[in-house]
Amino acid sequence: MAKKKTVGDEIEAYCSKCKMDTIHVVTAMKDDAVNKVICKACDSTHKYKPAGGESAKKTASKSKSKPQKRIKKTKEERSWNRAMAKADPENPVDYEMSGSFAESDVIQHDAFGLGVVTKVVSDQKINVAFQDGARTLVQNY
């Protein structure tokens, strides 16, 4: 006959944070049954779920059936992606303030990385789309 579990006993249970069966310590009992446990692996406290039992299978199947959340791209990233699709990213030109640039030119900036000239504002200014946002840069200086 199995020994009755009490508060402080170690027990194998399914950890919803670790997403697997781990060793837990019983922290609360209700009507002579284990109610709450604390995971020894991640220190999270949660309701008791038997190891490898129906609760573990239900939780695992629920998490698998949920569609993955798509990470939304920022407006800047979408703009940069569109600009890069129209440009030739294979041969970027190193950005220099003394350089002269035209729309759709791909430039390599020391601080901002790869960018695409989206607009020639004037003889001295250009708008450039970088992955983290648009910037106005100097040209012909």
Q: Provide mean pLDDT across the span 109-115.
A: 90
pLDDT exceeds cutoff 70 at 118: yes
How many CB atoms neighbour CB 31 within 10 A?
Answer: 5
> pLDDT tier at 62 (50, 70, 90 boundaries)?
low
For residue 2, the model assigns a pLDDT of 66
For residue 39, the model assigns a pLDDT of 85
For residue 123, the model assigns a pLDDT of 94
pLDDT exceeds cutoff 80 at 117: yes
**Of 6-10, 30-34, 81-85, 94-98, the least confident:** 81-85
